[in-house]
Chain A
Amino acid sequence: MSDRAPQKLWRWRTVARIRRSLLALLVFGQTAVASYYLLWIMPYHGGTPVEIGLLVLFALLYAWIAVGFWTAVVGFVLRLTGGDKHSLLNRYSSDDLEHTPLVNTAIVLPVYHEPVHWTLSGLKAVYHELERNGQIEHFEFFILSDSRNPEIWLQEQAKWHQLCDELGAHGRLFYRRRGVNLNYKSGNVADFLRRWGRRFKYMVVLDADSLMSGRTLVRMVQLMEREPQVGILQTNPSIINGQSLFARLQQFGNRLYSSLFATGLAAVQMGHAAFWGHNAILRVEPFMQHCGLRKLRGFGVFEGPIMSHDFVEAAYIGRAGYEVWLEPGLGESFEESPPTLADELSRDHRWAKGNLQHLWILCFGRRICLAHRMTFLNGIMAYVASPLWLAFLALTTVAAAQLTLSPIEYFPAGHEGLFPLWPEWRPQWALTLALSTLALLFAPKFLAIIDAIIHGLAKGFGGPWRLFLSVWVEIVFSVLLAPIRMLAHSRFVIASMLNVSLSWAGQNRTEETGWRDALITQAPGLAMGGSWAVFAWWLDVSFFIWSLPVAVPLILAAPTSVLLSRVRVGQAIRRAGLLLIPEELAPLPLLKNAAENRAQPASRGSLGHFEQAVLVPLVHQQQLALARPNRHSRRAARLNGLVDQCIRAGPAALNKKQISELCEDRVALAALHRRAWVAPTESYWGQAIARL
């Protein structure tokens, strides 16, 4: 970091300190006032263990939602005043940036059993973008596969080859498949860096569903060149391509609200932002030097490889003295939402475990700055807030039951003094507190409407009225989804802490949720919500009414889940002009191009990819060129046996690992090709040839 500018560094750190102090003051001040209200709303004013428990949980949850609220307010104010003048992008004029020369940059796409045609068609669109910009010569593309299933990785290789031909990208678009999968996605990227990291100054990491415009990619490299102390520069990806109602709700919410939240977050975090794992550019040399991830040496979930690597990498590069910035102003950076609630929850299951692991680094990580520790805490709270809320509801029920079923305690446990403790009720205060909590949750959504209107963006959402209606639709569904997510996340957190693996139904990424799956998956929530509502009714009518916002969504979880997964419903909503996003009304060339690429037919004939690699001469030649030539005698004998078995009984006689081994070995694959083509007509391979 020879180019470091101490004055600039000092300046943003001071600004960050002031902003964070102000945020802390607002959050904790507001939480203190709200907790004080609660203390006086509770009949014994915190005089019983249940009330103390309620107060502690309330304070934690209230502070958590207050952070979100004030972040959005900061974002709103900054956007109203022309943006954050301390952001990286606002430090330079467009002209300055355009005249910054580019340097060799790798664009890496780690994949693991992703939809091949879809994923690589997106990469093709990104490649086209850089070609259109005339900057392709500064970029090299790497598809980094961790796929194990031969039907998938053979397809990846065939598609890569096709792309190289179509784009004339030989020598610029590369494919590497790891022999051994270690340490998840971070291990995949680390493997790339060990092989080729020293070739590149920067590396842009994409996800399977990422799309980034050439303009943004170029600008990111230019910013990194201008700011040598920046280690990671993260964009704020917008969600696109939502088809199901669920995905459309996510993309609408993300597109509308994230401009406030991301601007606010970037303004508070400044050079201590988080890395989100994709749609970001990394400075390779310090990343390699400082961001190797050791296995955790704790116990249970805190032992073994780090699952959620990105936050940790940001903290480590920060520890080495580099800055991590979130730059929402970059734009033209996209990703996709899971299509169904079940898909989102199965993803959350992994993320919950990964984020909880960060607790170990939060507590024991050395020389990590407070801001990055707060990022860990934020990620942990994203999931731990759910069991806290559940515990809060449970304690509320206990308190209500105590009040209804037990005689009034004038001298509760812990109360000392001659005079009795008279229970008091303050319904007006309770109403005020409830309204303030609702305001924290929902006011940012209405601020986002105002922001869109002020900045002339409402048209992109279908106009002000449709935008307003869409926000209400989004609110209704977010209210319906909140208790379902709360219950699921609580389960994930408990399972992670106990280090047990719980399966969650619905792992598909393309299909809609069926009634059977939905009923089975949501049955525990239905039972819990139903019995809680019945108990509340039996206890007290007003408590029953209070329980409804949680109980009703849990009871309706199955139909909600099915309805949200329906593409037909999503399309009907779109036709009605609701939940629209600007990218749908005026798609960028990047998005049009990606959609056209993806609309092209994907598969070739009726043969599987292994059958093609064995039989189809052109595909076979390609695969042969990528297979390994070397074999030891013991391995050769084993592979010869597998070839015999495969010719005799077809690929069904082999498992996926054995098929992979055959395809990776040049001699075995050539033997398969030769023998399959002379196989009898009635044999498996004879029949496969007939289908060619």
Chain B
Amino acid sequence: MEQLPCQKALDRVIAYLRGSGINPGVNECCTALELIGHALQQAPDGDCLSLVMELLPQYFELPQPKLTLEAGPELLRGSMGYE
């Protein structure tokens, strides 16, 4: 039996949360359903996936990686000498 668009959307939300390091519990599932309900209302043709993924960060507090990464310290340029 083919999955309904809302089922697909729920699968994606759960997968995204897991990929973000969140193990979805009851609260997260309820919030996901709320998000999908909202998206379904906004997307009357039933294809709500794009909207769900767009709104997802507004519904969940996604963990952010420590992005203070510096690929290198401040440059202090010099040159190589060729004799």
Question: How many angstroms from the CA of A292 to the CA of B79 in the assembled complex?
Answer: 9
A176 within 8 A of B: yes
Known contacts A291-B80, A617-B19; A626/B63 CB under 8 A: no
Question: How many angstroms from the CA of A196 to the CA of B76 in the assembled complex?
Answer: 5
User: B1-36 toward A: CB 8 Å interface, digit per residue (1/0)?
Assistant: 001000010011001101111000000000000000
User: A606-626 toward B: CB 8 Å interface, digit per residue (1/0)?
Assistant: 000000000111100110011
Q: In the complex, what residues of B have CB within 8 A of residue A575's CB? A: none
From B18, B53, B63, B77, A195 is in contact (CB under 8 Å) with B77
User: A154-175 toward B: CB 8 Å interface, digit per residue (1/0)?
Assistant: 0000000100110000110011
Residue of A at shortest CB range from B21? Answer: A618
B68 within 8 A of A: yes
Known contacts A174-B73, A195-B75, A692-B15; A677/B53 CB under 8 A: yes
A630 within 8 A of B: no
A626 x B71 contact (CB < 8 A): yes
Question: How many angstroms from the CA of A149 to the CA of B73 in the assembled complex?
Answer: 25
A194 x B79 contact (CB < 8 A): yes
A618 x B78 contact (CB < 8 A): no
From A175, A294, A621, A674, B71 is in contact (CB under 8 Å) with A175
A198 x B65 contact (CB < 8 A): no
Interface residues of A in 172-224 (CB under 8 A from B): 174-176, 190, 193-199
B83 x A194 contact (CB < 8 A): no
A316 within 8 A of B: yes
Q: In the complex, what residues of B have CB within 8 A of residue A176's CB? A: 71-72
Question: How many angstroms from the CA of A11 to the CA of B80 in the assembled complex?
Answer: 32
A170 x B76 contact (CB < 8 A): no
Q: What total of chain A residues lie within 8 Å of the partner, measured CB to CB?
A: 43
B72 to chain A, nearest CB (A): 5
B70 within 8 A of A: yes
A294 x B82 contact (CB < 8 A): yes
Interface residues of A in 633-689 (CB under 8 A from B): 674, 677-678, 681, 689
A195 x B72 contact (CB < 8 A): yes
Q: In the complex, what residues of A have CB within 8 A of residue B63's CB? A: 618
Interface residues of A in 235-266 (CB under 8 A from B): none
Q: In the complex, what residues of A have CB within 8 A of residue B12's CB? A: 677-678, 689
B55 to chain A, nearest CB (A): 12
A615 x B50 contact (CB < 8 A): no
A290 within 8 A of B: yes
A140 within 8 A of B: yes
Known contacts A193-B78, A294-B82; A171/B50 CB under 8 A: no
Q: In the complex, what residues of B have CB within 8 A of residue A174's CB? A: 70-73
A292 x B81 contact (CB < 8 A): yes
Q: List 26 A-B contacts (CB under 8 A).
A: A165-B66, A170-B68, A194-B77, A195-B75, A195-B77, A196-B73, A197-B78, A199-B73, A288-B81, A289-B81, A291-B80, A291-B81, A292-B80, A294-B82, A615-B19, A617-B19, A618-B19, A618-B63, A621-B64, A622-B65, A622-B67, A625-B67, A677-B16, A677-B53, A689-B12, A690-B15
B80 x A194 contact (CB < 8 A): yes
A616 to chain B, nearest CB (A): 5
Q: In the complex, what residues of B have CB within 8 A of residue A118's CB? A: none
| Chain A interface residues toward B at CB < 8 A | 140, 142, 161, 164-165, 170-171, 174-176, 190, 193-199, 288-294, 316, 319-320, 615-618, 621-622, 625-626, 674, 677-678, 681, 689-690, 692
Question: How many angstroms from the CA of A190 to the CA of B18 in the assembled complex?
Answer: 43
B64 to chain A, nearest CB (A): 7
A319 x B83 contact (CB < 8 A): yes
Q: In the complex, what residues of A have CB within 8 A of residue B20's CB? A: 617-618
Known contacts A677-B53, A681-B3; A171/B80 CB under 8 A: no
Residue of A at shortest CB range from B66? Answer: A165
Known contacts A196-B72, A689-B15; A621/B80 CB under 8 A: no
Residue of A at shortest CB range from B13? Answer: A677
A190 x B80 contact (CB < 8 A): yes
Q: In the complex, what residues of B have CB within 8 A of residue A195's CB? A: 72, 75-77
From B50, B68, B72, B80, A288 is in contact (CB under 8 Å) with B80
From B18, B76, B81, A198 is in contact (CB under 8 Å) with B76
Q: In the complex, what residues of A have CB within 8 A of residue B3's CB? A: 681
Q: In the complex, what residues of B have CB within 8 A of residue A617's CB? A: 16, 19-20, 62
Residue of B at shortest CB range from A200? Answer: B76
Q: In the complex, what residues of A have CB within 8 A of residue B67's CB? A: 621-622, 625
Interface residues of B in 43-58 (CB under 8 A from A): 49-50, 53
B46 to chain A, nearest CB (A): 14
Interface centre among A161, A316, A677 (most CB of B within 10 A): A677
B53 to chain A, nearest CB (A): 5
A290 x B81 contact (CB < 8 A): yes
Q: In the complex, what residues of B have CB within 8 A of residue A171's CB? A: 68, 70, 73
Question: How many angstroms from the CA of A659 to the CA of B18 in the assembled complex?
Answer: 25
From A161, A319, A678, B50 is in contact (CB under 8 Å) with A678
B66 to chain A, nearest CB (A): 6
Given contacts A194-B78, A618-B63, A622-B69, 16 further A-B contacts (CB under 8 A): A164-B66, A170-B70, A193-B78, A194-B77, A196-B75, A198-B76, A288-B79, A290-B83, A292-B82, A617-B62, A621-B67, A625-B65, A677-B12, A678-B50, A678-B53, A681-B8
